[in-house]
Amino acid sequence: MSVATATASTAHTDATPAVCAPLPVLGRDVTVPLVTGGEVGYAALDYAASAPALQRVWDDVAAYAPYYGSVHRGAGYLSQLSTDLFENARRTVGEFLGCRDTDQVVFTRSTTDSLNLLAHALPAGCQVFVFETEHHAALLPWQGAEVTCLDAPRSPRQAVETLERALADRDSHGPALVCVTGASNVTGELWPVRELAAAAHAHGARIVLDAAQLAPHHPVSVRDLDVDWVAFSGHKLYAPFGSGVLAGRADWLRAAEPYLAGGGASRTVTRRADGGVDVEWHETAARHEAGSPNVIGAYAIASACKALTEAGLDTLAARERHLIGTVTAGLAEVPGARVLSLFGEDAPRVGVISFVIEGWNSSHFAAALSAEYGIGVRDGLFCAHPLVRTLLGADADSPGDCGAQEAAPHAIRVSFGAGTPDEHVERFVNAVRELVREGAKWRYRTENGRCVPAV
């Protein structure tokens, strides 16, 4: 299923039972202390920040670890094995992303790193178009180029129209790049990637998809979506070993100076008679992977890609819709709760839901969920300050005093995925209800701008 069909099939609340069991992840048996006494199983509901490692990924990494060796630089058996593993990981990721034969898959540290690499590779005079709704990782790397920041659209159609207008208005016919998210890290809403790609191409621009929040939840195909590049992070894809990916067209990457200069990126280096140094750089992905590659990180991502493919991303997405239905239906019954949305409450989304509760400071609420219920969510502006400010319609600079009965200028985000048991989201919904009905049982104070239990 592509993003477009996911859009159609998630447009309603799915009240049917979960269609498969959660995938085993690390940490599922961890218990945490409650301020009110006793311990409870930790409900990790902050997948959008970092998802727990899949057990399968952990097992694969553990099985490989004794064979660990250098990549691309050793004659020994283990070096050769590790080099093979690294290059196979590249192929697996390329298949997972439905890459074209001519595409390059570059291993980076994260989505942020991937998008900064692409920013580094922009051709001279390139214009960049981004919506104000982007995560800072997609909003900020283009500062060296001419950037047009587009207003937050209120529907997928408006997103496409806004982009089309901006591209049609551009006064140059030079290179242009559109950077767009597949699923928002604030609202979880799916963006019309295929349509935006078509609009970009129709106006001679290229497009990079920030799939940091999309790839863990939905199939992503570079070919089907017709995007030029895609970026994502291992730690959000159940493979938290410090790697990310930039995959896509080779030409801009090949034409750019290496992202980092050093061994691995260079094919030959010679000393000139005048004392200088001449370098011939690789033209493959290695050009932008100088230094010793993170083979464990790359292997872990490939392992996650295989595990998700075998489990069936469509099946996992159907299960996630069930969890989304539980959370949205639960929040709809809580007095004063408002789910943040750009495209409307029925808009299809991944398991990322931000909300505010009238009369509650969001940091206070999130602290109480953690301290009194063992539930880990996130509060704040989620590295998407312009978007959250737009959605809250408020000056969101100050989180306000802990416990103050005032409008919440920050939001609370609950997020989940392939490893989340039903019990975690059910406990979350019950905890929200109870907190709003009865208030916090503990006292909290503000420390460094955050609410913490006053003990």
Which residue is associated with the tokens 């209800």? 433
CB of 351 to ligand PLP, least distance (A): 13
Q: Which residues bind ligand PLP (CB under 6 A)?
A: 48, 110-112, 135, 137-138, 181, 185, 210, 212-213, 233, 235, 383
CB of 49 to ligand PLP, least distance (A): 6
Q: Of 99, 126, 179, 383, which one is the catalytic site residue? A: 383
Query: Residue 177's beta-bridge partner residues?
Result: 128, 206
The nearer residue to ligand PLP, 43 or 383, going by C-beta atoms, is 383
Torsion-angle region of 125 (φ positive above 0: left; ψ -120 to 50: alpha; else: beta): left
Which residue is associated with the tokens 């300050």? 385
CB of 440 to ligand PLP, least distance (A): 28
First-to-final CA distance of the chain: 50
Pairing of strands 352-357, 375-376: unpaired
The nearer residue to ligand PLP, 383 or 440, going by C-beta atoms, is 383
Q: Which helix (H) or strand (E) holds 87?
A: helix 77-96
Sign of torsion over alpha carbons 306, 69, 71, 82: negative
Query: What number of CA atoms fall less than 13 Å from residue 225's CA on the CB side?
Result: 36
CB of 417 to ligand PLP, least distance (A): 13
- Give the Cβ contact number of residue 282 at 10 Å: 16
The nearer residue to ligand PLP, 187 or 420, going by C-beta atoms, is 187
CA 455/CA 451 separation, integer angstroms: 12
Q: Which helix (H) or strand (E) holds 331?
A: helix 313-332
The reply to whether 451 belongs to the active site is no
In this structure, are residues 412 and 355 in contact, taking their beta carbons and an 8 Å threshold? yes
The nearer residue to ligand PLP, 185 or 303, going by C-beta atoms, is 185
The nearer residue to ligand PLP, 385 or 445, going by C-beta atoms, is 385
The nearer residue to ligand PLP, 216 or 264, going by C-beta atoms, is 216
The nearer residue to ligand PLP, 235 or 321, going by C-beta atoms, is 235
CA 363/CA 399 separation, integer angstroms: 7
Amino acid at position 234, single letter: G
CB of 309 to ligand PLP, least distance (A): 21
CB of 455 to ligand PLP, least distance (A): 31
The nearer residue to ligand PLP, 138 or 331, going by C-beta atoms, is 138
CB of 192 to ligand PLP, least distance (A): 16
Of the candidates 244, 238, 180, the one whose C-alpha atom is nearest the C-alpha of residue 59 is 238
CB of 182 to ligand PLP, least distance (A): 8
- Give the Cβ contact number of residue 59 at 10 Å: 14
Kindly state the tokens that stand for 18: 């979960």
Query: Residue 261's beta-bridge partner residues?
Result: none
Buried b (16+ CB within 10 A) or exposed e, 360-386: bbbbbbbbbbbbbbbbbbbbbbbbbeb
Of the candidates 62, 408, 121, the one whose C-alpha atom is nearest the C-alpha of residue 258 is 121
Catalytically annotated residues: 383
